[in-house]
């Protein structure tokens, strides 16, 4: 798991629920018997299953199924936290094989990097 950036916080985590390819509920083990439940947001753009456009709707279902299947792997997941607020964290999650959900969604075409709007 050499993808971890220096200075970022990394913790063992369990995936509780996949809401969408970019929103997952996690149980994060902070150590000393302390576990928190929070929502992880991946900094990606994915098609939406709520889209009116049939093509985007189908792509949203495919991306959601990919993330759901990815999260079913047996073993210890690791969360890497980039930013946090009082209700959610932004970061990435790695499966027991060391694969990043962000990278896997991008590499399979289920997501694109987040578009930045500049004034």
Q: What is the pLDDT of residues 67-111, one digit of tens each?
A: 999 999 999 999 999 888 877 899 999 999 999 999 999 999 999
Mean pLDDT score across all residues of the chain: 89
Domain assignment of residue 117, yes or no:
no
Domain count, the chain: 1
Domain assignment of residue 114, yes or no:
no
Domain assignment of residue 118, yes or no:
no
Domain assignment of residue 119, yes or no:
no
Name beta bridge partners: 84.
Answer: 89
- Using alpha carbons, select from 64, 79, 65, 103 the residue that is nearest to residue 29: 79
5 class by beta-carbon count within 10 Å (0-12 exposed, 13-18 middle, 19+ buried): exposed
Domain assignment of residue 38, yes or no:
yes
Q: What is the span of the domain harbouring residue 77?
A: 9-108
Predicted confidence at residue 1, as pLDDT, reads: 41
Q: How confident is the model at residue 2 (pLDDT cuts 50, 70, 90)?
A: very low
User: The pTM is what?
Assistant: 0.85
CA distances from 22 to 38, 66, 116 (A): 14, 11, 17
């Amino acid at each position: 798991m050499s993808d971890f950036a220096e200075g970022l916080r990394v913790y063992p985590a369990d995936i509780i629920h996949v809401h969408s390819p970019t929103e997952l509920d996690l149980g994060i083990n902070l150590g000393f018997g302390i576990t928190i439940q929070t929502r992880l947001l991946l900094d990606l753009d994915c098609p939406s299953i709520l889209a009116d456009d049939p093509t985007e709707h189908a792509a949203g279902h495919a991306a959601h199924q990919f993330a759901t299947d990815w999260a079913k792997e047996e073993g210890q997941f690791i969360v890497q936290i980039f930013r946090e607020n009082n209700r959610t964290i932004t970061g990435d999650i790695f499966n027991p094989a060391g694969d990043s959900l962000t990278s896997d969604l991008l590499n399979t075409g289920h997501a694109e990097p987040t578009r930045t709007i500049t004034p």
